[in-house]
Homo-oligomer: A and B are copies of this chain.
Amino acid sequence: MSHDRMPLTIAIVEDHPVVVEGLQRILINDLPIRAIREYYTGKDFIEDVKRGRQPIDVVLLDITLPDMNGIDLCREIKVLLPDTYILGFSNHNDRSLVMQLLANGACGYILKNASASEIITCILHALDGQVAFSEEIKRIINKPSAQQLKAIPPLTKREKQILKMIAEGKTSVDIAKDLMVSPFTVETHRRNLMQKMDVKNAAALIRTATELQLL
C-alpha cells in the first residue's frame, strides 16, 4: 500500500511535556497530519474517546502514566477503538513488557531512544498493518535472554502432565483419579515440581511455569 495517505490523526498519551513536544515536531515534519492530540493521563484520553470525536489513526502510548498503567489502558483503548493502531512508546526495554503490550492489542513498540526516522518508519509500518518495532526492540525480541532460556529445569513427562493439571485447578485427589494413581504419588510429584522451580506453593509454581512457557 502506498505511503501517500489521508492526513492522520495521532494521539500521544504521555505525561512528560518535553517528550510530547519532541514527538509533535517529528510527526509534523514527516507525516501528513490532520491533528495531534495530547493527553497526560489515561483517564483524559478515555474520556475524550468516549465523547466520540473523529477517529484516531494511531496512538503513541506510554507505559507509565500517572493514573494507570499503559497495558490496562491499551486493552481499554482496543475495546473502544478496535481499528486504531496502538504503538507502545516508552523507556522500558523489558521483553515481557513488550510482549504484554502486544498481547493486549498493541501492534508495535518504540523505545524512547529511537531516532526520528525510526519513529516515522514504525508508524508507517503500523499503518500498513505491520507489527512495528524500533531497532533495539527488534533485537530484544529476537534474542530472548540467556537467563530466560536456561532457567528452565528439566521436568519429566509425568511432572509436566501433573503441572498442567494443577494449572487447570485440579486437586491432588482429582489428579490421582484421572491418572489412576495414589494421591500420595501426586503429592510427591507436586513436591518435586516445587523443589525444581524453587517455590513454596502452587500459586507460585503456576506463575513460574507460565513465565517459563511450560504451560
Given A85-B142, A205-B203, do A213 and B169 touch, yes or no (CB 8 Å)?
A: no
Q: In the complex, which residue of chain B has the Cβ closest to the Cβ of A142?
A: B107
* Interface flag for A161 (CB, 8 Å): no
| Residues of A196-215 whose CB lies within 8 A of B | 199-207, 210, 213, 215
- CA A199 – CA B167 in complex, angstroms? 11
- CA A187 – CA B24 in complex, angstroms? 49
Q: Which of B131, B133, B141, B152 contacts A141 (CB 8 A)?
A: B131
* Interface flag for A116 (CB, 8 Å): no
Q: Which residues of A contact B (CB under 8 A)?
A: 71, 75, 78-79, 82, 85, 99-100, 102-105, 107, 129-131, 133, 135, 138-139, 141-144, 149-150, 152, 166-169, 171, 199-207, 210, 213, 215
A203/B103 in contact, CB under 8 A: no
Q: In the complex, which residue of chain B has the Cβ closest to the Cβ of A164?
A: B207
Number of copies: 2
Can you name 21 A-B pairs with beta carbons within 8 Å? A78-B149, A85-B142, A99-B99, A99-B102, A99-B103, A104-B213, A105-B143, A107-B142, A129-B138, A130-B130, A131-B131, A131-B133, A131-B138, A167-B204, A169-B200, A169-B204, A201-B202, A203-B206, A206-B206, A206-B207, A210-B210
Residues of the B chain whose Cβ atoms lie less than 8 Å from the Cβ of A202? 201-203
A107/B169 in contact, CB under 8 A: no
Q: In the complex, which residue of chain B has the Cβ closest to the Cβ of A104?
A: B213
Given A207-B210, A210-B207, do A107 and B144 touch, yes or no (CB 8 Å)?
A: no
